[in-house]
């Protein structure tokens, strides 16, 4: 297993999360515990393990969708300063999400009338790219991911599940932030599309982007991951 030493981009120490089941009388259920790792720029860490082990919950706790019950999530910002995502103010978290930390879920959430091309170009435009250049790059990304050109001007909400997932991945990586979290990026994809996604993740690594992704296929982990972490169900 690789260790980041002093050059880490993200260092997670003894992270723990439990959930309160209010519909069961407030009983506490352990989501995960003792999660620790270091991740450098240009590395990909892959989470694997059985369903229900807490892999997605770990990503959401790092992203601060969930509040940790214990541990630290130390993120090294682009300016070299360090912030603990587990305990910093919500306003700081929101700023980091806008600028430096991205999350690619399995589910596409966009307005119904937005075309696939505009949906993918939008993150580039938000970073200051000219609209024409953003749309050109979006076309290239969509073609690389196997989206047919006749679909570019249609709403992705009318697409198949696998096509929607490819749109979501394109949106999440076309204007990459310094740390990207991906929740099962190849889950609904065929082998050809999965291979393209793994190539794109490899390209991001070469650009120095730090990545954390959930995979269920050991071959994919071996193909793209620098660090593998198997999450076991909490007893």
The predicted-structure confidence for 102-144, as pLDDT tens digits, reads as follows 999 888 888 888 999 999 999 999 999 999 999 999 999 999 9
| pTM of this structure | 0.92
- Distance from C-alpha of 226 to C-alpha of 195, rounded to nearest angstrom: 17
Residues 135 and 153 in one domain: yes
Residues 183 and 86 in one domain: yes
Provide, rounded to the nearest whole percent, the portion of the chain with pLDDT above 90. Answer: 82
Residues 215 and 158 in one domain: no
CATH number at residue 9: 3.40.50.300
Last residue of a domain, which of 170, 203, 221? 170
Last residue of a domain, which of 150, 170, 190? 170
Residues 165 and 182 in one domain: no
Residues 118 and 94 in one domain: no
Residues 160 and 229 in one domain: no
Q: Which domain holds residue 9?
A: 1-22+29-100+177-235
Predicted local confidence at residue 4, as pLDDT: 38
SS (H, E, C) 97-160: HHHCEEEECCCCCCCCCCCHHHHHHHHHHHCCCCHHHHHHHHHHHHHHCCCCHHHCCCCHHHCC
Provide the pairing of β-strand 70-76 with 82-84: antiparallel
For the chain, the domain total comes to: 2
Residues 211 and 129 in one domain: no
Last residue of a domain, which of 122, 140, 170? 170
Predicted local confidence at residue 6, as pLDDT: 52
Residues 10 and 66 in one domain: yes
Tell how far CA 220 is from the center of its chain: 16
Q: What is the pLDDT of residues 149-165, one digit of tens each?
A: 999 999 999 999 999 99
Predicted local confidence at residue 130, as pLDDT: 97
- Output helix, strand, coil percentages for the chain, rounded to the nearest 5: 40, 25, 35
Residues 10 and 120 in one domain: no
- Which is nearest to 75 in space by CA: 12, 22, 5? 12
Residues 183 and 67 in one domain: yes
Residues 160 and 70 in one domain: no
Q: Lowest-confidence range among 64-68, 108-112, 225-229?
A: 108-112
Residues 181 and 67 in one domain: yes
């Amino acid at each position: 297993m690789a260790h980041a030493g002093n050059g880490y981009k993200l260092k997670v120490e003894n992270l723990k999360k439990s959930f309160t089941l209010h519909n069961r009388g407030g009983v506490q259920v352990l989501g995960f515990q003792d999660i620790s790792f270091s991740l450098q720029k240009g590395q990909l860490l892959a989470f694997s393990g059985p369903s229900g082990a807490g892999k997605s919950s770990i990503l959401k706790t790092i992203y601060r969708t969930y509040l940790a019950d214990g541990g630290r999530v130390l993120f090294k910002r682009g300016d070299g300063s360090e912030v603990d995502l587990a305990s910093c103010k919500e306003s700081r978290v929101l700023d980091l999400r806008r600028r430096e930390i991205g999350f690619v879920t399995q589910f596409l959430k966009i307005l119904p009338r937005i075309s696939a091309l505009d949906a993918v170009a939008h993150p580039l435009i938000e970073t200051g790219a000219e609209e024409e250049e953003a749309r050109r790059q979006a076309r290239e990304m969509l073609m690389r991911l196997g989206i047919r050109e006749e679909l570019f001007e249609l709403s992705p909400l009318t697409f198949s599940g696998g096509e929607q997932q490819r749109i979501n991945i394109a949106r999440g990586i076309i204007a990459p932030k310094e740390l990207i979290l991906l929740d099962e990026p190849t889950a609904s994809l065929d082998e050809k599309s999965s291979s393209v996604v793994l190539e794109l993740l490899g390209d991001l690594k070469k650009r120095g982007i730090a990545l954390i992704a959930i995979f269920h296929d050991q071959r994919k982990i071996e193909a793209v991951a620098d660090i593998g972490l198997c999450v076991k169900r909490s007893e």
